[in-house]
Structure 1
Amino acid sequence: MKLSSVVVGWGLGAALVVVGAGACASRQRGGEQESRPSESLAAYYPLAVGNRWTYRVNGRVDKTVDVEVLKEEGGYFHDNQGGQLAVDGFGVRDRKRYLLRGPLAEGSQWTNVVSVSSTERYRILQSGVPCEAPAGSFEHCVRVEARNRVDATTTLVNALTFAEGVGLVRVEVSAEKSNGERMPQTWLELASFKLQDQGR
């Protein structure tokens, strides 16, 4: 299976469109505001026309991918990379798979059957944890692992990190052999972003 069918083939739409607005929820405690993660899936992958993200590929400043949400049509938000995303009552999805589903708790799992011969298995590794990228530090993030068996000896593993109020901040793709050895394939990290609703 080619890498493009996993990252770029997701349309950079399943794997890369980070469309976002949304603020963290807060609660009162002893007269002070205490920040806490939102339980809203849309907060971790909100969708809005005009939002734009730039990703570094493999950490290189000179190799970037720009993603911009161009329009909303048929219930999906379309980006300039061919991706189509929506948020429904179950989670954040493209036309074939859920990238993020609730509950947003460590250990939550789901499965996407994307074709007769391809089944993707997802699991939340961490939730409500801080994360970093060149674009900044983010307080409430969710880390998801997606696994798709390529053949008898190799499984493709995608590690996706979503930040609340921002969207997808990191994608790490590796090939895992049957003995557990992982070979990095590629990775992307958020270098900058401009969200229409937040004026960033």
Structure 2
Amino acid sequence: MEPAPVTAFSIGLTGGIGCGKTTVADMFGALGATLVDTDAIAHALTAPHGAAMPAILDEFGQDFATLEGAMDRIKMRALVFSDSTARARLEAILHPRIRDATAAAAAMATGPYTIFVVPLLIESGTWRQRVTRVLAIDCPEELQVARVMARNGMTEQQVRAIMAAQVTRAQRLAAADDVVLNDDGLDALRPQVERLHAFYLDESRRAHAPFGA
């Protein structure tokens, strides 16, 4: 059975690391869209006293916690990128909890439409059936690398390893219904976001209109 749509009209916003997903999502949020960020939910679950921490420590051991009691993201990232079984074990803990928290947040949505920010939307294999449209935030790969190196202090090799674990730029664009190109600053982003916002408002009204209206 395929997972049911989360809301009557919703957008799944995705993009590779460093493409500017948060920046674009925040622009939609400022225009009135409800934002549900699965990455933020995952961070909350793995923060000190987060709901997923007991299960993570039971599965991986105390070495994977920081002194504050959060998941040691650096250590965990190194493990799951080198061990696919470890990745599957972590996902088995996190994904059901993220799914439940996402559904709870969607149920409280007040905006005219909901945007789910899902970094691995295409990779997940299930999110495409849960949203009405997929919006990909796109930029050249070299710009991705430069942004993440500047933002996170990673080496180029580290950034490209993360990118290699994601779908390719071409695959993401092929799966998208809509695309925002983020390669030229905020002034170039705003008109693209505003056009899509107007379109999403119209589509949302149609989705919520009485049958035959």
Give the TM-score taking structure 2 as reference length.
Answer: 0.26
> Which structure is larger by alpha-carbon Rg, 1 or 2?
2
The alignment's TM-score, normalised by the length of structure 1, stands at 0.27
Higher helix share: 2
